[in-house]
Each structure stands twice: as structure tokens, then as C-alpha cells.
């Protein structure tokens, strides 16, 4: 019998190289950890926003002022403060200010529908909400159905440098905030923050590592969006683990914080990790794919973090020979990075002066967004790398607690300091996802299929719920997608299962060609022949549909469920 994966073995231990396998974690809160960093690097820049740079010393002052204002408006320990904002200084400061006073940040997407906002506010029992001005009408329409007491309204230009602030006001003059007369529950940001001077008392509330710090929303491993409860330890451990495995996270370096703060990857990897490393976060409230190249030239980041669609956008930029010379590390997560896309991006980086190559990682919000990362120069197809320090991976036979053999496919399970506290107000879903195994440890069942190799590194195969079952055979859509995307004229592809009268399901491929490529009969035939050559007969797509674009989720992933819905009509 092949050797099974054993938690105590940590087969991957030798893959850490110069990184530590075990770390010491703070016993306190997120803000405690950040305070220590700010004392070490007070004059280093903590963030940059449209060219305006703020030091760690001044950043901490801003956080304290927001904390004082929150206290003045009645926010207490354990209260939930909903933050419905893109990545602006006001939003970042409010996250840490809430943590400072012992409250909980409840993070939601500004593009959420009215019903979604109502649901997230009520799930978290929030009485206070910070919103972008464009969200005000939606919040007002659902306010009567919630317990909201104060609505704090901010604009994207509030913290911009003077010239940018003026230009924004000129170009957006029609978007003036209109507050209903007599509604004292709505407070503009400047009025809110000015109340800090009136605060008398102590803001700081001591919190422990295991206390709830942040609530994020995700579809989870099954079903509808759920609130994911993350503790101070979860987020601090993620930051320290990422810092250990990514040596370019050093004081004074900068990261292009493109991913939004209401996304686990954005908050934990693009904000908290660099801040605990003494780095500068270049805050981008709204990503413009067409100006990606200009953004890099202007800000000169050392560190890029993104989802695969972001790197597809990078490939379309017209750069000069040394424009990427500043880039020292490139991390991809949040979705599958195909071998073909990785190859193209690596070549592109080299072409424009960077010595970095894309390092694919793996994670999910239930484990604070990142749990595993490939070592530099060790990528092979499907590899997601080495678990973070103190993080254990186990592969179990699907729908069991029984460990799979080395090299065999099964469900990826994770145990460690970044595993969530549970789903908010949802004990049933929590118990389906967090399970104690015979080894006595609590394991997160990810809903993903993978395998552990002999050296302990992890290979990702497929989401369990994305597996297509056709006449009893398992079809892996991501494998077919990789084959189709390998064609030189294909930009992206999504494969889903569609209903079939006899087989249950069959595969259907949606294909987007590169800009300027004409869809011809010859090209269609080439792609079909490519599949026939590389895909088993029972896995072959029964239909190929060509589109200009594919539907995307709010964080830029391909929205497979939207395609599936189309085929249910």
C-alpha cells in the first residue's frame, strides 16, 4: 500500500528552504500587531493614495481619530461596523479603528444589491455603516428593515491630494450627495471625523487573539453567500506566514493593492500582510484594466498580487523595455492560473525588465484567503505549492474522513491558525465544513479536489462542485480549459456541465478569442482537434460556444454559475 499523508509527518518540511516551519503569533489584536510595526518604522510610508503618501506615524493618528469618532457616535465593544467601501484610506482606517475599540468590521461589496446589503447588515446585526456615496440610495431604501442607527457617507476623493480632489469634484459635479432633509442618521465623513476632537476618554479596548475581528462574505464551500468569521489570530497569522514565504515583503518595499478589501485576498494579503511587513500599500479604489501599464509606470510597485484575469489585463499593456524592472515578486491566487497564462506572463515580465515569475498560490476565505504557495522556480502544472507555516494539509477520500494515498485525488482539508472561527449564525454549515478527525484536530473541508505528492507539495485538481459527472465518469472542467487555452488564438475559456437526457451531464465549452482574431471554420476545427488529441472521449465537450467576453463575479473570477443558469432555461 502507498504511504498515506500524515499530519505529523509534514512531508513538505524540507521545501521551506530558508523559511521557518513554525512561527510565534501575537497574543493580541490586529491593531496591536500594527502598532508594533508603526513604532519600528514610524517614518516609512504605510500607504499611498493617488500620489499622496502617509507615514506609519500619521496612519496611526488617522486610525485613532476614526476610533474616537466611532466612540463619539456610540460604537461599543463587540458592535459590528459594516464597511461598504472600495480600498480608500477612510475604509482602511475604519477597519483598524473598529479593531482598536474592540468592535468588528463587517465587510461588504459596494456593488451589492439592495437585498444583499440588507441581508449582510442584518446577519451581522450592524447598527453602523460606512458607505461610498454612490451606495446611499440603496442603503436608504432598506434602512427601515434593519437596525442601522448611523450611516456615514464618504466619497472617493476625500483623501486625494488637492489637485486630484479638485479635478474629481469638477468631473463628478452631478454626483453631489443629497441627504434627505431632517434625516439625522446620515453623517458625511468630514463631519464624522471632526467629532474626534470632542472625545474624552480611552479608545483602546484590549482584545485577544481568538476574538472575532472581521466578517467577510463568500459563497463558501457550498450554497449561498455566508458570513465568514475571522479572528485576530487568523488575520495576523496569515500576514506573518505570507511574510515568511515571500522574502520580498520587506520594510520600505511597496505592493500594488489592487484587490478589494471586502475580499479576503485583498484585505489579508494586499493590506494586512504588507502593513505588518513595514511596506507601503498603493491603494487603488477602482481598477482600470486599460490603464494598468500607466499605473505600474507611475507607482513602481515591488510586489504584484492578483487573480488570473488581472494578469490577462497585464499582457495587453504596451510597456517600455524597463517598465517592470521594479517588480520583484508576483503572486497569483483566487482562481486557477493555467500553465499557458503563467508562461505568457513570465515571458512578459522578463521582456520588460523583471526577474520575477508568477508564483501560484491557493486559499479560500474560510482559511483567511491564502494557505499554500509555490516556491520560486518550482512550478509544474496544477502545483499550488507548500503550506504556510504551522498549516497542515490532508487529502481525504471524498465524503469521508479517511486519508487518501499519496498521489491519489481527494478532498483538500486544512488545519492551522488561519482556519476560520465558523460561519456567522450558521451552525449547520459550520459543522459541515469544520470537522474533527480521528487525529483529534479540527479540519476545514475545502470542497476542492487535490493530491499530495511524495515531497508533500500540493496539486490542485478541481472544485468538487465543478466536477461534471457524465454516465458515471468524472470530468474535470479545469483540465479541458487548460487544453483549449493552450491554443495560440484563445484568450480564455470556461467549461461547464449542461443537462443531458441520458448521460446526466455533458461538457460545454465557452471560448473567448484574443483581440483581433477572426473566428473561422478552420479555427473551430483546430480547437476541436486539439481537444480530441488531449482529452478522453467521455470528457470531450459536446458543444463549443464562442463569445466576446465571459461573465465575471464582483472580484473578477469567471462566474460559472451564470453560465450554468443560462443552460437551465
For residue range 301-313, list pLDDT tens digits in order. 999 999 888 898 8
**Selection from 552, 478, 518, 46 nearest residue 253 by Cα:** 46
Percent of the chain clearing pLDDT 90 (strictly above)? 73
pLDDT at 4 over 60: no
Between residues 130 and 398, which one has the greater pLDDT? Answer: 130
Indicate the length of the chain as a whole number: 569
| Contact between residue 491 and residue 452 where contact means Cβ atoms under 8 Å apart | no
* Helix (H) / strand (E) containing 116: helix 114-124
| Contact between residue 485 and residue 340 where contact means Cβ atoms under 8 Å apart | yes
| Contact between residue 544 and residue 525 where contact means Cβ atoms under 8 Å apart | no
pLDDT band at 501 (very low <50, low <70, confident <90, very high): confident
- pTM for this prediction: 0.84
> What is the chain's mean pLDDT, rounded?
91
Domains and CATH numbers, the chain: 11-25+218-462 (3.40.50.12780), 51-207 (3.40.50.980), 467-566 (3.30.300.30)
pLDDT band at 221 (very low <50, low <70, confident <90, very high): very low
**What is the rounded CA–CA span in Å between residue 323 and residue 96?**
34
Average pLDDT of 511-523? 95
pLDDT band at 10 (very low <50, low <70, confident <90, very high): confident
User: Can you point out the beta strands (E) in 28-147?
Assistant: 45-49, 52-55, 80-84, 104-107, 128-132
* Helix (H) / strand (E) containing 313: helix 308-315
Can you give the pLDDT at residue 337? 85
Can you give the pLDDT at residue 336? 77
pLDDT band at 172 (very low <50, low <70, confident <90, very high): low
| Contact between residue 515 and residue 567 where contact means Cβ atoms under 8 Å apart | no
For residue range 266-276, list pLDDT tens digits in order. 999 999 999 99
**What is the rounded CA–CA span in Å between residue 507 and residue 471?**
12
Average pLDDT of 186-211? 95
pLDDT at 3 over 50: no
Helix, strand, coil abundance in the chain, percent, nearest 5: 35, 25, 40
Q: Which residues contact 238 (CB under 8 A, 6 or more apart)?
A: 268, 269, 272, 273, 368, 369, 370, 388, 418
What is the DSSP annotation of 189-214?
A: HHHHHHGGGG--S-------TTSEEE
Q: How are beta strands 468-470 and 473-475 bridged, if at all?
A: antiparallel
Amino acid at each position: 500500500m502507498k504511504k498515506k499523508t500524515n499530519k505529523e509527518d509534514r512531508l513538505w518540511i524540507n521545501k521551506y528552504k530558508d523559511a521557518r516551519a513554525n512561527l510565534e503569533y501575537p497574543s493580541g489584536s490586529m491593531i496591536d500587531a500594527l502598532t508594533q510595526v508603526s513604532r519600528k518604522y514610524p517614518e516609512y510610508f504605510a500607504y499611498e493614495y493617488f500620489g499622496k503618501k502617509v507615514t506609519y506615524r500619521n496612519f496611526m493618528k488617522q486610525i485613532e481619530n476614526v476610533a474616537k469618532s466611532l466612540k463619539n457616535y456610540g460604537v461599543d465593544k463587540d458592535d459590528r461596523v459594516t464597511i461598504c467601501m472600495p480600498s480608500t484610506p477612510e475604509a482602511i482606517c475604519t477597519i483598524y479603528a473598529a479593531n482598536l475599540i474592540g468592535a468588528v468590521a463587517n465587510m461588504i461589496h459596494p456593488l451589492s444589491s439592495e437585498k444583499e446589503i440588507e441581508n449582510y447588515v442584518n446577519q451581522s446585526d450592524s447598527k453602523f455603516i460606512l458607505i461610498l456615496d454612490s451606495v446611499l440610495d440603496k442603503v436608504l431604501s432598506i434602512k427601515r428593515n434593519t437596525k442601522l442607527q448611523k450611516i456615514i457617507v464618504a466619497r472617493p476623493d476625500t483623501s486625494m491630494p488637492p489637485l486630484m480632489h479638485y479635478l474629481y469634484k469638477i468631473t463628478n459635479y452631478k454626483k453631489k450627495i443629497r441627504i434627505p432633509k431632517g434625516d439625522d442618521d446620515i453623517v458625511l465623513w468630514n463631519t464624522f471625523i471632526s467629532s474626534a476632537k470632542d472625545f474624552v476618554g480611552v479608545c483602546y479596548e484590549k482584545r485577544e487573539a481568538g476574538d472575532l475581528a472581521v466578517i467577510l462574505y463568500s459563497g463558501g464551500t457550498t450554497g449561498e453567500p455566508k458570513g465568514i468569521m475571522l479572528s485576530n489570530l487568523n488575520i495576523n497569522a496569515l500576514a506573518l506566514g505570507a511574510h515568511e514565504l515571500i522574502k520580498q515583503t520587506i520594510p520600505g518595499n511597496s505592493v500594488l493593492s489592487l484587490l478589494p478589501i471586502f475580499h479576503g485576498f485583498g484585505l489579508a494579503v494586499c493590506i494586512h500582510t504588507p502593513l505588518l511587513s513595514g511596506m507601503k500599500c498603493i491603494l487603488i479604489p477602482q481598477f482600470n484594466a486599460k490603464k494598468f501599464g500607466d499605473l505600474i509606470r507611475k507607482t513602481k510597485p515591488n510586489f504584484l498580487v492578483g487573480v488570473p484575469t488581472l494578469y490577462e489585463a497585464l499582457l495587453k499593456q504596451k510597456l517600455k523595455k524597463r517598465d517592470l524592472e521594479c517588480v520583484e515578486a508576483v503572486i497569483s491566487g483566487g482562481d486557477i492560473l493555467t500553465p499557458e497564462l503563467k508562461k505568457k506572463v513570465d515571458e512578459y515580465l522578463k521582456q520588460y525588465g523583471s526577474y520575477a515569475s508568477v508564483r501560484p498560490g491557493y486559499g479560500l476565505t474560510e482559511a483567511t484567503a491564502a494557505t499554500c504557495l509555490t516556491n520560486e522556480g518550482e512550478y509544474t502544472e496544477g502545483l499550488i505549492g507548500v503550506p504556510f507555516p504551522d498549516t497542515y494539509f490532508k487529502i481525504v477520500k471524498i465524503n469521508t474522513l479517511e486519508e487518501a494515498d499519496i498521489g491519489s485525488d481527494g478532498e483538500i482539508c486544512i488545519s492551522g491558525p488561519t482556519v476560520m472561527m465558523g460561519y456567522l449564525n450558521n451552525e449547520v454549515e459550520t459543522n459541515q465544513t469544520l470537522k474533527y478527525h480521528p487525529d483529534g484536530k479540527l479540519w476545514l473541508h475545502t470542497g476542492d479536489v487535490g493530491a499530495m505528492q511524495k515531497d508533500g507539495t500540493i496539486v490542485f485538481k478541481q472544485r468538487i462542485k465543478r466536477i461534471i459527472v457524465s454516465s458515471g465518469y468524472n470530468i474535470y472542467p479545469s483540465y479541458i480549459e487548460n487544453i483549449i487555452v493552450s491554443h495560440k488564438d484563445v484568450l480564455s475559456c470556461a467549461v461547464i456541465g449542461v443537462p443531458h437526457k441520458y448521460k446526466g451531464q455533458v461538457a460545454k465549452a465557452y471560448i473567448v478569442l484574443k483581440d483581433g482574431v477572426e473566428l473561422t471554420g478552420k479555427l473551430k476545427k483546430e480547437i476541436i482537434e486539439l481537444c480530441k488529441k488531449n482529452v478522453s472521449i467521455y470528457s470531450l465537450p459536446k458543444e463549443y460556444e464562442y463569445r466576446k467576453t465571459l461573465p465575471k463575479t464582483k472580484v473578477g473570477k469567471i462566474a460559472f454559475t451564470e453560465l450554468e443558469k443560462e443552460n437551465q432555461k
